[in-house]
Structure 1
Amino acid sequence: MAKTSSLTSPGPRRPGQVRLGIGIEVIAIVWMLIEATVALTTGFATRSVSLEGFGIDSIIELIAGGMLLWRLLVEQQGGSVERVEYAERRAAWVTALSLFALALYIVGDSILSVLSRTRPASSWWGVGLAIAAAVIMPLLFIGKRRVAKRIGSAALKADAACSLTCAYMSVALLLGLLLNRLFGWWWADSLAALALVYFVVQEGREAWHEARTGEACSCCADEDED
């Protein structure tokens, strides 16, 4: 198939780019572990819907990143990519459905929190996490996008888009947490959580498109670069 030959075609720089992609994915997975742990622990402890949603999204991205790391390792070891593409497709379905379910969870939990006037406790841990994610995720996006273009991987390109989406989510999360922390605006947490829904649904659409076509969504396309 054309797609498979594109992924496996040799080139003088390809092995090095695959190794670079593996390194970037390892860093991303380690960060997602930290991000999910801090977000979920702090979110449930402070009853912050936005932190809970951010943490669950991190777990979903962690699973997708693990599948992509496996795909890159198989290529590095000279194995067939066809079976990995099949696994990527299955993982994309699971990721898409999980993200849509997460969006419903956030909407329902946010509405319930507002109606019950649940006041999340303020947390500098959450603020620090959001700031760190806003800095780290764009760097991961740039690295993944460059490698994806050079090795012709739609899956890695979609994963790069998820990293950028996570950066946007961290900014929305940060605003909500700061408004609650500095001004005591308890409803800002639920508002920030609802803002996350937009990005979660976008991620879900990208994963759904990849699952159906095996290609990154057009919204993930980047400009030509050297």
Structure 2
Amino acid sequence: MRLGIGIELITIGWMVIEATVALTTGILSRSVSLEGFGIDSIIELIAGGILLWRLLVEQRGGSEERVELAERRASWVTALGLFALAVYIVIDSGWTFLKQIHPESSWWGLGLALAAAIIMPLLWQGKLRVARRIGSAALKADAACSVTCAYMSLALLVGLLLNRLLGWWWADPLAGLALVYFIVREGREAWHEARTGEACSCCSDEDDDC
């Protein structure tokens, strides 16, 4: 249980860095993909805080009934936030395409995307091992969501690289639209958990690791 709490603290710390850098850089460079990535990081930060609280209550032998009720409420907020984010990215990307707004290239954005592509798979493996040891379905589902974040960072990295190296301005809003797929997927999982109260993996049903 201590390992689970420790790795969740690391995740929350990284999400704070991720959200701060992505939003600041995205706003300054007018990058749709970075802004979307940053807002998603804030939503994941909130979800990670709820999971950390749940693990702390379990460690102290507290009542899980109150925690599960709060967790379901948080799942509703998370789901609605993710769906709203998906709509925002679609509208913002469409506006960028229509007005042909050229986002500025950013080394900070590229560094963040590369770091996330390396860190998130490591967090996924760590969470999965701990989840199996303590039998935590919530932590196992959170581990699977770290994979989704890794895919998002790769999509972000490709879009930023194409804009930086080749000057393809349209690659940035296109990368933003690619993020929508993963954001909606996360939103559906949170919606499922809010309705049923059961933690659900972000991976497909065919993935045995999830």
- Percent of matched pairs sharing the same residue: 79
Alpha-carbon distance in 2 for matches of 1:224, 1:112: 39
Query: Per-residue deviation at 1:154?
Result: 2.6
Q: Which residue of 2 aligns with 1:93?
A: 76
Structure 1 residues 218 and 63: CA distance shift in structure 2, 3 A:
closer
Alpha-carbon distance in 2 for matches of 1:224, 1:200: 21
What amino acid is the match of 1:21? G
What amino acid is the match of 1:205? R
- The alignment status of 1:83 with 2:69, answered yes or no, reads no
Which one is further off, 212-221 or 45-54? 212-221
What amino acid is the match of 1:32? M
Q: CA-to-partner distance for each residue in 1:146-197, whole Å, 9 max, x for gaps?
A: 2223333332222112211000000000000000000110000000000000
Query: Per-residue deviation at 1:117?
Result: 0.6
Alpha-carbon distance in 2 for matches of 1:154, 1:201: 21
Alpha-carbon distance in 2 for matches of 1:88, 1:109: 31
Which one is further off, 72-81 or 47-56? 72-81
- The alignment status of 1:223 with 2:208, answered yes or no, reads yes
Aligned residues of 2:148 and 2:202 also touching (Cα < 8 A): no
**Bigger radius of gyration:** 1
Alpha-carbon distance in 2 for matches of 1:202, 1:161: 12
Alpha-carbon distance in 1 for matches of 2:88, 2:202: 25
Aligned length: 208
TM-score by length of 1: 0.88
Aligned residues of 1:67 and 1:88 also touching (Cα < 8 A): yes
Structure 1 residues 172 and 224: CA distance shift in structure 2, 3 A:
closer
Q: Which residue of 2 aligns with 1:172?
A: 155
- The alignment status of 1:189 with 2:181, answered yes or no, reads no
Q: Which residue of 1 aligns with 2:45?
A: 62
The CA RMSD over aligned residues, in Å, is 1.5
Runs of 4+ in 1 over 4 A off after TM superposition: none
Query: Per-residue deviation at 1:224?
Result: 6.8
- Runs of at least 5 residues in structure 1 that lack an aligned partner in the other structure: 1-17
Say which of 105, 123, 127 aligns to 1:122. Answer: 105
Alpha-carbon distance in 2 for matches of 1:211, 1:154: 15
TM-score by length of 2: 0.94
Alpha-carbon distance in 2 for matches of 1:60, 1:120: 24
Structure 1 residues 125 and 84: CA distance shift in structure 2, 3 A:
same
Aligned residues of 1:158 and 1:207 also touching (Cα < 8 A): no
Alpha-carbon distance in 1 for matches of 2:72, 2:136: 13
- The alignment status of 1:23 with 2:38, answered yes or no, reads no
Alpha-carbon distance in 2 for matches of 1:161, 1:100: 19
Q: Which residue of 2 aligns with 1:42?
A: 25
Query: Per-residue deviation at 1:215?
Result: 1.9
